[in-house]
Structure 1
Amino acid sequence: MKRVLITGMSGTGKSSVIEELVARGHHAYDLDTPEWSQWVDTDPADMLTPAQGRDWAWREDRVRALLSKPGDGMLFISGCAENMRQLFFLIDAIILLSAPVATIMERLAMRSSGYGQIAEERQKVCQLISTIEPVLRKSADYEIDTTRPINATVDEILRIL
Structure 2
Amino acid sequence: MAGCKTDQGKFYPLFDQVVLLSAPADVLLARVKARTNNPYGERNGERDAVLNHLATVEPLLRATATIEIDATAPVERIVQQLEELAEH
| TM bracket, shorter-chain basis | 0.7 to 0.9
Give the structure 1 partner of residue 25 of structure 2: 101
Percent of aligned pairs with the same amino acid: 34
Question: Larger RCO: Structure 1 or Structure 2 (Cα < 8 Å, ≥ 6 residues apart)?
Answer: 2
Which residue identity does 1:120 align to in structure 2? G
The structure that has the greater radius of gyration is 1
Query: How far apart are 1:120 and its partner, in Å?
Result: 1.4
Query: How far apart are 1:83 and its partner, in Å?
Result: 2.6
- Where does the alignment leave 5 or more consecutive residues of structure 1 unmatched? 1-8, 11-78
- Where does the alignment leave 5 or more consecutive residues of structure 2 unmatched? none
TM-score, structure 2 length as denominator? 0.80
Higher strand share: 1
State the number of aligned residues. Answer: 85
Shift in CA distance, 114/141, structure 1 to aligned 2, threshold 3 Å: farther
Shift in CA distance, 91/114, structure 1 to aligned 2, threshold 3 Å: farther
The alignment yields a C-alpha RMSD, in angstroms, of: 1.8
Does structure 2 retain, via aligned residues, the 8 Å contact 1:115–1:121? yes
